[in-house]
Structure 1
């Protein structure tokens, strides 16, 4: 299919070129009339589509480039300048084919995404492996993903293990290890192992399908600069027509007027913006940075302040136990952790999970569930176990203050950790501390933002001391802690009133108002998050903050290319017009230079496709066993 499209694209320029060569050969053989007929035929073949487009534009009350070329070519035929007519229309046809080919190439990211979309799926139905079209898989069905196969659906791993190449979704080149409970995305490729996946998203509802839709819409959306150029062309094209008529009337040279029409074609100007926008957005898509459209791309290039949520953005959003301080005589680490785990086993306390995970990692079994558990919001939990009263939480939950525990609580809090006192029947056994791990790439990402002249601000609902400790670790410029969602919104508005262009980065529902108000809302780790992909101005598909400075840098590069292209196009037109008026530039020469400027603009935009993608250091996925037990179970 693509080969057929390419052939059609070049059919007209090829046929016109053959007719021109035949005309020259016929003239050398002494048949001038036949040579003229062939040259006119070349002009008709190359110019028919141009005239057709000009008529359609006029019917829509638009005076465009095609009209200028059509008038010039028809006029050249009328005054007997057959070669000029054929040269102008053929060069224009070649330029159009090149533009079409280049835009197709710049959309390669979209083509790559479409190409990785799986066509078939192996579904387990009644114990049998059934191959069906990927779109025919039902929600909740179990899909089998073998080594080397593409994952046909979004889903959750039910059994097995394997390494998946998720570069089509997140831009990451390193395969990711998947085990039971992990999420997988359609279009990713198994590099080893065997997985049973329960389908949670199929067909048009997969993450890959959403990304394809987003890239299509973004590449077609006009940037503000492009909209301005459209308005500019509305008066520029009629102005060239008037100039040509006036020049022809004053000098009496029809050929001069026709040449001015051809030279004044702003072809390079028209393509200068869209080719850069398409290339920039396409490159971002390949790198795992989805940009909603040209408007947001231009805004991202002007960002000078980045507001960052803490939990899930600067940190991993998964607290872990960092400290176990033993305070009671004849108590040990295992005893403190055991009582804490037993109290937390049936609680809804937000810090219960890291305590239970740490206990499990150390081989501690919490045993029977508590008789009752009371969660005290903002303080901790109180549990009763076999007549014993167990407290896990703040000092305020204790029956009597404990100065020894208070000193450790103060020290741990100052270090940016959340302390929890563990007491049994009023006797303090020890203090636990939980902290959210800072992302490995957070400090480097912040340094890169600073190097680009971008100021960073942390907006978080966490406590002041915890926020300050994280801020010191990653190097953000300003910290605003203890904020509610509306406070984050007010902070963003305050920065905007101070004249800043603000990008807000977050991953939670509580960030939504600030994300919507910021000049650029950036969703963190958006893979598989339908709302983020559809609504965010910029979506970082991988869960890596390093992609943020990369995306802003890409936006700035794209805007620079747009400005360079505009300058190239305007200078070329200006020089050619001066050359025509001063003499020495013919219609064919002018068209040749004009098409050369189009090629320069295209080549300049294609530079956006080059450059390295930042890679976050990762542990390479392990080579997986072939899951013999699982395979045997499936085969049987």
Structure 2
């Protein structure tokens, strides 16, 4: 397509030609005093600007849709028939300008999607037969080694197998600070190298990359309709025919054709029709820029009503990586005839026993022993016997070592009443501090207690505070952990209610119970173990979804970065977007009402009516575009700093399944 063809098909071509014809008509009237030329040029201006409108109106009619274009077409054609050439030209010209501006600004609200498409890489440098070969990004084969040099885009999803560097991942996570990458780290297509040199093994190419899935998701989301938008579509389907009937009745009653045609023009519900979709597109676009993927307008609208948030503990409020926190020696010195049972020996004994365990809590004990004890080797015990729900029993150098909870002591009858009382006291104290205690016993006698804890995220307390500040009434923790540990975490984070000892089906019931109480519930989880609860909630939120295709496709909201503060940001964005939609609806309805009054009682002309109508469309669009600006969370401005613990309140409640 050459430049001339591109210009003829541009959005501003029709209004420009029509405007020039109107100016020529006005000039002819002043300079030539030729009424024929004045009228001919005005009609030509109306034909140029009105032909696309008539074509759209006819196409809509053939599809049994009566829309705004039909109202403008009838009014313009009627004005020409009765000799109101200026009115016909002015109405079609203003409508053409309004359509061009609407198209331009709507494209602006879709800027997030355009930016995502722009960062999609075109080429890749791969190693083939030991040589660097430049190929199209979609031609990279899974498993190939891709080279990422300073300043270039990463063309694939993959794992770093060599080199170090830093990547700007803003296009994926919304995080502007470059992330350091080294061997074993994951990288995403569309991110940009800000330094270093990386060798990447391709694991996702073409449409299988995270960036491609995000683009697809945002495309679908911006086109998906909210409940309010669906209602407005139904309203418009009845409103437009009703206006045509009203105009006919007014014309018959008043015998004033100009008044009837003017009524058609000013009653166009253009601003009303566009009021909701433009806000939704802008809101979803803003979220995409910030690493918040919202599935569509319906979910955006529902998210604005969230007043209860349910959170999993492990991996959401906590890091999901337990660490050894305490080693308590019950009897560090039993005398010269007994071996030393200090903290190092207790840890050594527990680590050697746990070396044969597959339990998640075994790893932090073994790793701590390797770090703290010189020369420690985690060799497998002679015999290992897991005790489900209680712990593990192992044979080591002729000794019977047990590591587990108090129930294991009772089952094994390892301790007398005096020992059991002391152990129970230590266990209770550690559990009250939010740690998971495990008793270590040797040959029938407890010798110590080790405890592990999952580190609470630095921003967990701040997230809860911001959720409350944004209007969320209740934040609930749903966890399978024991009550004392869950209560301690809830107290540190500022959770309103803790439900402990839950199985997956219990979490589902907890979410259902909150909904029965009248709450609009958002459930935050990993999308796997919490899947039933996520599906039951009004809004399911997946954390840290970058690179997780299933989470991106299935969650109602996917937070691309593993950042808890993105959750209150998503709620705040949803509420801002819905408020924006309501503002636009009020603007649109008020404009139509004022114009209707002006036509019937104030002498508003067809041209003035169309001018005000198009102005209202632009006001609605500009108002929606405010959503594209990054807005600081008002709650964040009152923060005491990320990660600052929030004191627990006495209202924090802990419940367990019956």
TM-score tier after normalising by the smaller chain length? over 0.9
User: What residue in structure 2 maps to residue 628 of structure 1?
Assistant: none
User: What residue in structure 2 maps to residue 243 of structure 1?
Assistant: 246
Matches for 1:284-299 after TM superposition, within 5 Å = 284-299=287-302
Matches for 1:129-528 after TM superposition, within 5 Å = 129-327=132-330, 328-329=332-333, 330-362=340-372, 364=374, 365-398=376-409, 399=412, 400-401=414-415, 402-403=419-420, 404-454=422-472, 455-528=474-547
C-alpha distance in structure 2 between counterparts of 1:362 and 1:130, whole Å: 48
C-alpha distance in structure 1 between counterparts of 2:589 and 2:434, whole Å: 57
C-alpha distance in structure 1 between counterparts of 2:479 and 2:424, whole Å: 25
SS at match of 1:9: coil
C-alpha distance in structure 2 between counterparts of 1:89 and 1:573, whole Å: 18
C-alpha distance in structure 2 between counterparts of 1:220 and 1:292, whole Å: 10
C-alpha distance in structure 2 between counterparts of 1:340 and 1:580, whole Å: 88
Cα contact 1:493–1:517 (8 A) shared by 2 = yes
Cα contact 1:349–1:375 (8 A) shared by 2 = no
Cα contact 2:344–2:373 (8 A) shared by 1 = no
Cα contact 2:393–2:401 (8 A) shared by 1 = yes
User: Per-residue deviation at 1:428?
Assistant: 4.0
Matches for 1:41-52 after TM superposition, within 5 Å = 41-52=44-55
Counterpart of 2:90 (choices 87, 92, 112) is 87
User: Per-residue deviation at 1:134?
Assistant: 1.3
User: Per-residue deviation at 1:426?
Assistant: 4.0
User: What residue in structure 2 maps to residue 554 of structure 1?
Assistant: 573
Deviates more, 1:40-49 or 1:360-369: 360-369
C-alpha distance in structure 1 between counterparts of 2:526 and 2:225, whole Å: 28
- Whether 1:585 aligns to 2:609 is no
Inter-CA distance 370–264: structure 2 relative to 1 (3 Å threshold):
same
Instruction: Report Cα offsets for 1:166-213 as digits up to 9, x if no partner.
Output: 111111122222222222211112222222222221111111111111
Q: Which runs of 4+ in 1 moved over 6 A?
A: 614-619
Identify unmatched segments of 5+ residues in structure 2. Answer: 334-339, 644-658
Counterpart of 2:587 (choices 568, 577, 582) is 568
Inter-CA distance 348–575: structure 2 relative to 1 (3 Å threshold):
same
Instruction: Report Cα offsets for 1:122-146 as digits up to 9, x if no partner.
Output: 2222222222211111112222222
C-alpha distance in structure 2 between counterparts of 1:356 and 1:443, whole Å: 30
Cα contact 1:349–1:381 (8 A) shared by 2 = no
C-alpha distance in structure 2 between counterparts of 1:123 and 1:387, whole Å: 57
User: What residue in structure 2 maps to residue 18 of structure 1?
Assistant: 20
Cα contact 2:470–2:571 (8 A) shared by 1 = no
- Whether 1:97 aligns to 2:100 is yes
SS at match of 2:10: helix
Q: State the TM-score, normalized to the length of structure 1.
A: 0.93
User: What residue in structure 1 maps to residue 630 of structure 2?
Assistant: 611
C-alpha distance in structure 1 between counterparts of 2:61 and 2:275, whole Å: 23
SS at match of 1:462: coil
Instruction: Report Cα offsets for 1:297-331 as digits up to 9, x if no partner.
Output: 11111111111111111111111111122333234
Inter-CA distance 299–420: structure 2 relative to 1 (3 Å threshold):
same
Inter-CA distance 326–583: structure 2 relative to 1 (3 Å threshold):
same
User: What residue in structure 1 maps to residue 43 of structure 2?
Assistant: 40
SS at match of 2:12: helix
User: What residue in structure 1 maps to residue 10 of structure 2?
Assistant: 8
Alignment RMSD (CA, Å): 2.1
Deviates more, 1:125-134 or 1:288-297: 125-134
Counterpart of 2:620 (choices 601, 612, 616) is 601
Q: State the TM-score, normalized to the length of structure 2.
A: 0.90
C-alpha distance in structure 2 between counterparts of 1:442 and 1:363, whole Å: 33
Cα contact 1:348–1:375 (8 A) shared by 2 = no
Inter-CA distance 422–162: structure 2 relative to 1 (3 Å threshold):
farther
User: Per-residue deviation at 1:508?
Assistant: 4.5
Instruction: Report Cα offsets for 1:473-496 as digits up to 9, x if no partner.
Output: 111111111111111111111111
SS at match of 2:522: strand
Deviates more, 1:554-563 or 1:446-455: 446-455
SS at match of 1:509: coil
Work out the number of aligned pairs and report it.
Answer: 618
User: Per-residue deviation at 1:394?
Assistant: 2.2
User: Per-residue deviation at 1:396?
Assistant: 3.9
Cα contact 1:524–1:540 (8 A) shared by 2 = yes
User: Per-residue deviation at 1:548?
Assistant: 1.0
C-alpha distance in structure 1 between counterparts of 2:159 and 2:470, whole Å: 39
Cα contact 2:366–2:378 (8 A) shared by 1 = no
Inter-CA distance 187–359: structure 2 relative to 1 (3 Å threshold):
farther
User: Per-residue deviation at 1:468?
Assistant: 0.6
SS at match of 2:490: helix
Identify unmatched segments of 5+ residues in structure 1. Answer: 620-636
User: Per-residue deviation at 1:347?
Assistant: 2.2
